[in-house]
């Protein structure tokens, strides 16, 4: 016997409709490319998203067509999220930090019909368009007619103006109802190994992710909250914030392309931001700015840090120096992205060191996600906090196949998706990533966690950023090499730095060499590019004679 409850499709347009009806006057604030501030509300934004849906129809966009975006976080990007998905087309966010070659590959692979882009990306668009094989019909620049830059595109690709299209369209569009399993948005992994691959989210997966994300154990946003998503909307749906905030009636403060510490601090204070989310590199930049300028954050209470491992030193610094709680999250493009979350809890009797150690782990599976660790043969490994294995997940918002691939081809026979991360899980379910499987250092047959070594380096007072990579070694196969960037105006005493490892890790974990660099390379998603560093320093020990 089935239950007798209504069954309504879980559709993305319902989020912005709800926001317009119940939180209609809540702010959506955008810092634009020229540094000026634009203000609108959910009521106005929903009306413009309907107008956009009409404009898309006039361009000939139909259900299931892919429509690409190449844009910073702003109200227009939010309109695109809702207008495109809401009409039944697929909102394909493209990462502008990728090379023209990768952008062209992604646009071709997705067969995008239109590309909506910020005016700051004309050079990238021209370079990518020259390599396209013919699906793209037009590029729509996100500006007014008077602001249109010149853009030279191959024959057959029109150049259009967003606000001109909007002016010509009506708001009389009614959000349609369709199967909740319909594709809603598409996001390619940044292809650190091989070509980028597309995760194709459905309306249902996005809605379920949004509800879980807004539970009290996770983002827990509420009306009256003011959230600043630092994580770009071109990176895994902005970690779900463009859906989570309107669903709860929390205000959105969008930083555009201004992501340096000084710009973020001034926007956070001016707009009374209470909550934000982004990768560790951004928060290290903000922390450095706060320390050197003496500026305080007057309203920020919580920061979600994820995308790569959050150093415990960062959690401690924000807590002790600024009274801000850091909440560590783990996820990936293929998990929409949230998989685990380390919700702050007090454990009676726990000392400060143990508490920090616990908070620095990637946390517990969010309700709706099942996870485990397994060996290379796929056998489940124990949850004892020390045995490490391949992290696997399954759940309502986990990818089953990449775009264009055979159904379920990304999962094993039991439905597990293997993440490419190596992790431990404690008996009570607190997961810790020790490495990406391709970053693991194998020395004399033993695994060394690069993340743990990096965390210790970043906790030293003169170190701004650190990475540990495997270098080839004739005897041990691989040995760790530590690459560090000093804090502004500081010099690094390498002997003292290596001394910091004594007693904290087994002796054979201590890096064989330290290299001081002016900066570390970062990927298109703002993470330290281990791939570049691994290539660069692969032969470091042999070349410098340090391998004995
Ligand atoms: P990419 O970085 O390749 O663009 P993703 O954003 O999907 O793509 O990256 C997902 C990966 O980022 C995870 O598999 C994991 O290796 C890493 N990651 C994400 N969050 C964390 C975290 N909190 N700690 C450690 N690693 C993380």
Cα(197) to centroid(ligand 1), Å: 15
SS3 letters across 379-426: CECCCCCCCCEEEEEEECCCCCCCCCCCCCCCCCCCCCEEEEEEEEEC
Q: Which atom of ligand 1 is nearest to the CA of 190?
A: 4
Peptide bond into 337 cis (omega under 30): yes
Tell whether 307 is covered by a domain. no
Question: Positive or negative, the Cα torsion across 139, 143, 144, 149?
Answer: negative
Tokens, residue 58: 């006039």
pLDDT 10s digits, 349-369: 999 999 999 999 999 999 999
Q: Is residue 431 within 6 Å of ligand 1 at its C-beta?
A: no
Whether residue 75 lies inside any domain: the answer is yes
Domain assignment present for 190: yes
Distances (CA, A) of 533 to 157, 196, 200, 312, 528: 39, 20, 31, 23, 9
Kindly state if the Cβ of 88 falls inside 6 Å of ligand 1.
Answer: no
Calpha distance 208→204 (Å, rounded): 6
From ligand 1's centre to the CA of 310, what distance in Å?
11
Tell whether ligand 1 has an atom less than 6 A from the beta carbon of residue 281: no
CA of 178 to the centre of ligand 1 (A): 33
**C-alpha 18 – ligand 1 centre gap (Å):** 32
Using the mean position of ligand 1's atoms as its centre, give its distance from the Cα of residue 388 in Å.
17
227 is a domain residue:
no
Check if the beta carbon of residue 399 is closer than 8 Å to that of residue 378: no
Tens digits of residue pLDDT in 297-324: 999 999 999 999 999 999 999 999 999 9
Take atom 13 of ligand 1 and give the residue whose Cα is closest.
332
- CB of 190 closer than 6 angstroms to any ligand 1 atom: yes
Q: At what angle do helices 280-293 and 312-322 cross, to 10 degrees?
A: 40
351 CA distance to ligand 1 centroid (A)? 29
- Cβ–Cβ < 8 Å for 247, 23: no
CATH number of the domain residue 513 falls in: 3.30.300.30
**CA atoms of 482 and 466, how far apart (whole Å):** 7
Residue 193: pLDDT band with limits 50, 70, 90? low
Q: Is the pLDDT of residue 447 over 90?
A: no
| Greatest mean pLDDT range, 191-195, 201-205, 432-436 | 201-205
Q: Whose CA is nearest to atom 8 of ligand 1?
A: 189
Q: Does ligand 1 come within 6 angstroms of the Cβ of 328? A: yes
User: What is the token pair recorded at 391?
Assistant: 């992290």
Q: What's 45's domain CATH number? A: 3.40.50.12780
Question: Within a domain: residue 539?
Answer: yes
**Interacting residues of 480 by C-beta distance below 8 A, sequence separation 6+:** 441, 443, 448, 450, 453, 468, 469, 470, 471, 509, 510, 511, 512
Q: Which atom of ligand 1 is nearest to the CA of 525?
A: 4
Phi then psi for 363, rounded to 5 degrees?
Answer: 100, -170
Residue 191 clears pLDDT 70, i.e. is over it? no
312 domain residue, yes or no? no
- Gap between the Cα atoms of 319 and 325, Å rounded: 6
**Domain endpoint, select from 178, 202, 226:** 202
Q: Say yes or no: CB of residue 359 within 6 Å of ligand 1.
A: no
- How many independent structural domains does the chain possess? 2
CB 225 within 8 A of CB 252: no
Given a cut of 90, is residue 194 above it in pLDDT?
Answer: no
Q: Is the CB of 332 under 6 A from ligand 1?
A: yes
**Do residues 233 and 71 touch, judged by C-beta distance below 8 A?**
yes
The finding on whether 436 has its CB within 6 A of some atom of ligand 1 is: yes
CA pair distance 331, 342, nearest whole angstrom: 12
Q: Which two tokens stand for residue 42?
A: 């959910």
Range of the domain at 162: 9-28+40-202
Tell which atom from ligand 1 comes closest to the C-alpha of 328: 23
Question: For ligand 1, atom 1, which residue shows the shortest CA distance?
Answer: 190
In tens, the pLDDT along 264-283 reads 999 999 999 999 999 999 99
Answer yes or no: is the C-beta of 314 below 6 A from any ligand 1 atom: no
- Please report whether residue 391 resides in a domain: no
Q: Quote the Cα angle for 469-475-477, to 5°.
A: 40
What secondary structure, in 3-state letters, does 480-496 show? EEEEEEECCCCCCCHHH
Q: Among 157, 185, 202, which residue terminates a domain?
A: 202
Q: Does residue 11 carry a pLDDT above 80? A: yes
Catalytic positions, written as ranges: 189, 334, 442, 447
Domain boundary among 185, 202, 219: 202
pLDDT in tens, 25-72: 999 999 999 999 999 999 999 999 999 999 999 999 999 999 999 999
What is the Å distance from ligand 1's center to 421 Cα?
8
Separation CA 54–CA 490 (nearest Å): 56
The dihedral through the CA atoms of 36, 42, 43, 49 has a sign that is positive
- Within-domain flag for 298: no
Q: Tell me the whole-structure pTM to 2 decimals.
A: 0.93
The predicted pLDDT at position 547 comes to: 81
Residue identified by tokens 């620049």 is 141
Q: What count of other Cβ atoms lies within 10 Å of the Cβ of residue 192?
A: 17
The H or E element containing residue 67 is strand 66-70
Nearest residue CA, atom 9 of ligand 1? Answer: 332
Mutate to test the pocket of ligand 1, among 193, 307, 315, 458 (most ligand atoms within 8 A of CB): 307
CB within 8 Å of 507: residues ≥ 6 apart: none
In short, whether 330's Cβ falls inside 6 Å of ligand 1 is yes
Phi and psi torsions of 138, nearest 5°: -165, 155
**Pocket of ligand 1 contains residue 317 by CB under 6 Å:** no
């Amino acid at each position: 016997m089935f239950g007798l409850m209504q069954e309504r499709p879980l559709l993305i347009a319902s989020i912005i409709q709800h926001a317009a009806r119940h939180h209609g006057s809540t702010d959506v604030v955008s810092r634009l490319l020229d540094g000026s501030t634009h203000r609108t509300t959910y009521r106005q934004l929903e009306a413009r998203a309907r107008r956009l849906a009409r404009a898309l129809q006039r361009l000939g966009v139909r259900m299931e067509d892919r429509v690409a975006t190449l844009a910073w976080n702003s109200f227009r990007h939010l309109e695109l999220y809702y207008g495109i998905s809401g009409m039944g087309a697929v909102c394909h966010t493209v990462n502008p930090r990728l090379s023209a070659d990768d952008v062209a590959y992604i646009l071709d692979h997705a067969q995008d019909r239109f590309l909506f882009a910020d005016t700051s990306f004309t050079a990238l668009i021209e370079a990518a368009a020259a390599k396209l094989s013919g699906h793209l019909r037009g590029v729509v620049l996100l500006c007014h007619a008077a602001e249109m830059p010149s853009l030279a595109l191959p024959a057959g690709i029109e150049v259009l103006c967003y606000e001109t299209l909007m002016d010509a369209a009506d708001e009389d569009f009614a959000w349609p109802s369709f199967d909740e399993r319909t594709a809603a948005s598409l996001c390619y992994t940044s292809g650190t190994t091989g070509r980028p691959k597309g995760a194709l989210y459905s309306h249902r997966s996005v809605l379920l992710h949004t509800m879980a994300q807004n539970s009290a154990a996770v983002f827990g946003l509420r009306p009256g909250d003011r959230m600043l998503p630092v994580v770009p909307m071109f990176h895994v749906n902005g970690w779900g914030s463009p859906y989570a905030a309107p669903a709860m009636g929390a205000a959105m403060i969008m930083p555009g392309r201004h992501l340096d510490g000084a710009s973020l601090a001034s926007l956070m204070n001016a707009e009374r931001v209470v909550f934000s989310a982004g990768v560790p590199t951004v928060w290290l930049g903000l922390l450095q700015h706060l320390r050197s300028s003496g500026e305080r954050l007057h309203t920020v209470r919580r920061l979600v840090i994820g995308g790569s491992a959050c150093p415990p030193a960062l959690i401690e610094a924000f807590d002790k120096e600024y009274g801000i709680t850091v909440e560590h999250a783990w996820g990936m493009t293929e998990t929409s992205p949230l998989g685990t979350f380390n919700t702050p809890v007090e454990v009676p009797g726990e000392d400060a060191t143990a508490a920090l150690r616990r908070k620095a782990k990637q946390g517990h599976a969010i309700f709706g996600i099942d996870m485990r660790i397994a060996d290379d043969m796929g056998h489940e490994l124990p949850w004892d906090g020390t045995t490490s294995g391949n992290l696997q997940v399954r759940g309502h918002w986990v990818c089953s196949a990449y775009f264009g691939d055979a159904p379920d081809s990304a999962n094993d026979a039991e439905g597990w998706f293997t993440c490419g991360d190596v992790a431990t899980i404690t008996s009570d379910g607190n997961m810790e990533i020790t490495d990406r499987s391709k970053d693991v250092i194998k020395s004399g047959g033993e695994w060394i966690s690069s993340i743990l070594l990096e965390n210790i380096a970043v906790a030293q007072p003169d170190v701004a950023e650190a990475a540990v990579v495997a270098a080839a070694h004739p005897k041990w196969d691989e040995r760790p090499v530590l690459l560090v960037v000093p804090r502004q105006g500081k010099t690094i005493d390498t002997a003292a730095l290596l001394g910091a490892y004594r007693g904290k890790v087994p002796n054979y974990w201590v890096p064989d060499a330290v290299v001081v660099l002016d900066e570390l390379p970062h990927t298109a998603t703002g993470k330290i590019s281990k791939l570049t560093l691994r290539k660069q320093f692969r032969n470091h020990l042999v070349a410098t004679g340090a391998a004995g």
